[in-house]
Amino acid sequence: MAGKESFDVSTYLDKVIFKELREYDYFERVSLEFGTITWPNEQDFSPETIEARMERIR
């Protein structure tokens, strides 16, 4: 069985473009588009960034 992994966005929250992600209600508006996660105001993470920064959940 494959393990679970997570991608921690907290290291990006100090960047201006990701500031809105600090708000829980806005963060919940995440969607999947073109193979990556995005938010309404064009914030996104490339699939390569997500893959490179994934951490195994223990």
Residue 44 lies in a domain: yes
Rg of the chain over Cα atoms, rounded to whole angstroms, equals: 12
Residue 42 lies in a domain: yes
How many domains does the chain contain in total? 1
Can you give the residue range of the structural domain that contains 57? 30-58
Residue 51 lies in a domain: yes
Residue 22 lies in a domain: no
Residue 17 lies in a domain: no
Number of helical (H) and strand (E) elements in the chain, helices listed first: 2, 4
Residue 52 lies in a domain: yes
Q: What is the pTM of this model?
A: 0.77
Question: Does 1 score more than 70 pLDDT?
Answer: no
pLDDT digits (tens, 9 = 90+) for 5-45: 999 999 999 999 999 999 999 999 999 998 899 999 999 99
In this prediction, residue 2 carries a pLDDT of: 67
